[in-house]
Amino acid sequence: MRYFFHIAYQGQHYNGWQKQPGAISVQEVIEKALFKIFKSNIPIVGCGRTDAHVHASQFFFHADIEVKFDFDLLYRLNKTLPQNIAIFDIIEMDGLPHARFDAVQRKYDYFLHTYKDPFLANQSSFYLETEFNLNNMKKAVDLLPKYKDYRAFCTQPNKYEHTICNVMEADLFINAKADRIRFHIASNRFLSKMIRILMGKLIKIGQGELSLDEFENLLISLETPRTLDPAHPTGLYLSKVTYPYLNLEPRTEFLTATQGTDWFSVKV
């Protein structure tokens, strides 16, 4: 029987979702928890591969559990897993739907703050910059849905069959005090470190180190720049994953990183 698991995790202590030798990953921790419960190896397949130290306020993985069980798996799994990984729902699926290949949209949010705050340190990226040019940053963000090929914003473009991404949403938000920024983007797929590279370019635009024309030329020319300068991973969240047959609202409370803050779309 195939099950979909609706989860969230704080990623600062993990080397990303994907299991890999010599580094601790979210996938490895969950598979070890399942082994402890079922006393057998149960491989799991995630909906994507978040970078090291990146969070997920919504994430799905699927697993095929061949043995019948009569206990509360949701309860046992949450008791076994560390506090920074939560399981919200376990959904019995018909057929063999795929957590990664069946996703039709993924949404990410990147949070940035411009003052030192120890309570935001693990939730948002700190950039000591008091005068971001938000107008130009917003104009750059508005360009994103107009283009499809994001080859220039990828660390390893040649490993993909193509670098086309259908960006459906892109927006820039600011809080009332104008000392916190949120970049939101939704697409059918994302390339390696694409969002952090985009955010890094937006930061340079805000600091006056990159012009709008230079930014748009990357989208047009598809040439990988000499320096990619991806933004810090800490502020990045996979925040929503949608399937044709499954569309759940995220269950997380972001503490001060999102909840409790009034976000306003930047107006040009």
DSSP string, 176-233: TTS-EEEEEEEES---TTHHHHHHHHHHHHHTTSS-HHHHHHHHHH-PPPS---PPPS
Q: Is 171 part of the annotated catalytic residue set?
A: no
DSSP string, 75-90: HHHHHHS-TTEEEEEE
CA dist 90 and 30 (Å) reads 14
Residue entry with tokens 């090929």:
149
Tokens representing 136 are 């130009």
CA dist 192 and 21 (Å) reads 19
Question: Active-site residue among 51, 102, 109, 171?
Answer: 51
> Annotated active-site positions, please?
51
